């Protein structure tokens, strides 16, 4: 009976264990299915999010491509506009240079007299003043110059163009040689006076050419101090002797480029170029 009771107890225990095993397996399966469902849902959500992100990224890339094309188009337009503006500036610069050259050529035979006392021009007239100056200071060429004077007139001062003043008188000679002789004689004489007042006889240049000549002033002084024999040529070129050769330049940029291959000259003019 004891054995039988033990056997029955064993059978009941086995039955309970089997039942518990079944219940455990069932619970495990349900838990597993629940987790799988959650995992699937999360995976679906993640896939949906990734898809949305991909779509957004594609949209951004598309807009970036459109923006790049738009920027490229703008850059092309800017290049075209810049080129057009540069061509316009070059044409304007050429026109200004041509106008300056034309104006200087018109004034090629002119001499400007500066410093004549106020009132003298009204009393005697510009031409008479010119004759008196040449006879007093250049008796050897007085008659020659007087016969070459085609025109003499009062002109506005460059400092105040609105004010008509007799201090500036321009005489127009028939020949350029007569002008050169008169200016050369003026340089040799060093000082010219009229009625006891110092006056100046200079070439009558355009305002642009005068400014271009003034820009050479400091460089001219340095070169003169270094015995390079500088000269200002017509209308605004500088000429000097360097390394046994005579060099001539129309502007500072060309002189600057030349000085880069001449260290001694570059050092000499470093403060002025």
pTM of the model: 0.45
User: What are the extents of the domains in the chain?
Assistant: 15-106, 108-204, 210-268
pLDDT tens track of the chain, all 273 residues? Answer: 666 666 676 777 777 777 777 777 777 777 777 777 777 777 778 878 878 888 888 888 888 888 888 888 888 888 888 888 888 888 877 777 776 666 676 677 788 888 877 766 666 777 778 888 888 888 777 666 666 666 666 666 554 555 545 467 787 777 777 778 888 888 888 788 888 888 888 888 777 788 888 889 899 999 999 899 998 887 788 999 998 899 999 888 899 999 999 999 999 998 888
Residue 240: CB atoms within 10 Å? 21
- The 10s digit of each residue's pLDDT in 99-120 is 666 667 667 778 888 887 776 6
- The class of domain 210-268 in CATH terms is alpha beta
Whether the CB-CB separation of 173 and 111 falls below 8 Å is answered with yes
Q: What is the pLDDT of residue 240?
A: 93
Tokens of 200: 């100046």
What CATH number belongs to 108-204?
A: 3.30.70.1820
Cβ contacts of 137 within 8 Å, gap of 6 or more? 185, 189, 192
């Amino acid at each position: 009976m004891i054995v039988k009771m033990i056997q029955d107890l064993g059978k009941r225990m086995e039955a309970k264990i089997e039942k518990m095993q079944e219940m455990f397996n069932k619970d495990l399966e349900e838990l597993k299915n629940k987790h799988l469902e959650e995992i699937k849902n999360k995976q679906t959500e993640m896939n949906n999010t990734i898809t949305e992100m991909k779509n957004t990224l594609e949209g951004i890339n598309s807009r970036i491509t459109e923006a790049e094309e738009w920027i490229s188009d703008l850059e092309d337009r800017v290049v075209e506009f810049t080129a057009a503006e540069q061509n316009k500036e070059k044409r304007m610069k050429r026109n200004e240079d041509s106008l300056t050259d034309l104006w200087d050529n018109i004034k090629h035979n002119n001499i400007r007299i500066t410093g004549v006392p106020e009132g003298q021009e009204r009393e005697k007239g510009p031409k008479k003043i010119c004759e008196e100056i040449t006879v007093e200071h250049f008796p050897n060429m007085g008659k020659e110059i007087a016969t070459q004077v085609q025109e003499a007139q009062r002109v506005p001062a460059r400092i105040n163009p609105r004010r008509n003043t007799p201090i500036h008188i321009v005489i127009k000679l028939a020949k350029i040689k007569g002008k050169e002789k008169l200016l050369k004689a003026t340089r040799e004489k060093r000082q010219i006076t009229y009625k006891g007042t110092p006056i100046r006889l200079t070439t009558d240049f355009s305002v642009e050419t005068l400014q271009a000549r003034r820009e050479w002033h400091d460089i001219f002084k340095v070169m003169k101090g270094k015995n390079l024999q500088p000269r200002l040529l017509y209308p605004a070129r500088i000429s000097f002797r360097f390394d046994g050769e005579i060099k001539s330049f129309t502007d500072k940029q060309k002189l600057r480029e030349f000085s880069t291959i001449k260290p001694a000259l570059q050092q000499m003019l470093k403060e002025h170029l």
